[in-house]
Chain A
Amino acid sequence: DVKVTQSSRYLVKRTGEKVFLECVQDMDHENMFWYRQDPGLGLRLIYFSYDVKMKEKGDIPEGYSVSREKKERFSLILESASTNQTSMYLCASTTSRQGVYEQYFGPGTRLTVT
Chain B
Amino acid sequence: GQSLEQPSEVTAVEGAIVQINCTYQTSGFYGLSWYQQHDGGAPTFLSYNALDGLEETGRFSSFLSRSDSYGYLLLQELQMKDSASYFCAVRSAGGSYIPTFGRGTSLIVHP
* Residue contact B87 to A43, C-beta cutoff 8 Å: yes
Residues of B near A45 (CB, < 8 A) are 98, 100
A50 CB within 8 Å of chain B: yes
The stretch among A63-71, A77-85, A100-108 that forms the contact with chain B is A100-108
The stretch among B12-20, B40-48, B67-75, B76-84 that forms the contact with chain A is B40-48
A23-44: which have CB < 8 Å to B? Answer: 31, 33, 35, 40-44
Report the interface size for chain A: residues with CB under 8 A from the other chain.
25
* Residue contact B98 to A48, C-beta cutoff 8 Å: yes
Contact of B42 among A41, A94, A105 (CB under 8 A): A105
* Residue contact A90 to B43, C-beta cutoff 8 Å: yes
Min Cβ gap A2→B in Å is 10
Min Cβ gap B68→A in Å is 21
The interface of chain A, by Cβ under 8 A from chain B, is 31, 33, 35, 40-45, 48, 50, 58, 90, 94, 96, 99-108
Residues of A near B41 (CB, < 8 A) are 107-108
| A-B contact number at CB 8 A | 53
Residues of A near B107 (CB, < 8 A) are none
Min Cβ gap B41→A in Å is 7
Contact with A along B45-77 (1 / 0, CB 8 A): 100101000000000000000000000000000
Task: For the complex, give the distance between the alpha carbons of A11 and B97 in Å.
Answer: 29
* Residue contact A101 to B42, C-beta cutoff 8 Å: no
Supposing A42-B104, A43-B87 touch, asked if A103 and B99 sit within 8 A by C-beta, the answer is yes
Residues of A near B98 (CB, < 8 A) are 33, 45, 48, 58
Contact of A41 among B33, B50, B99, B103 (CB under 8 A): B103
Supposing A43-B43, A107-B41 touch, asked if A101 and B30 sit within 8 A by C-beta, the answer is yes
* Residue contact B87 to A107, C-beta cutoff 8 Å: no
Min Cβ gap B60→A in Å is 15
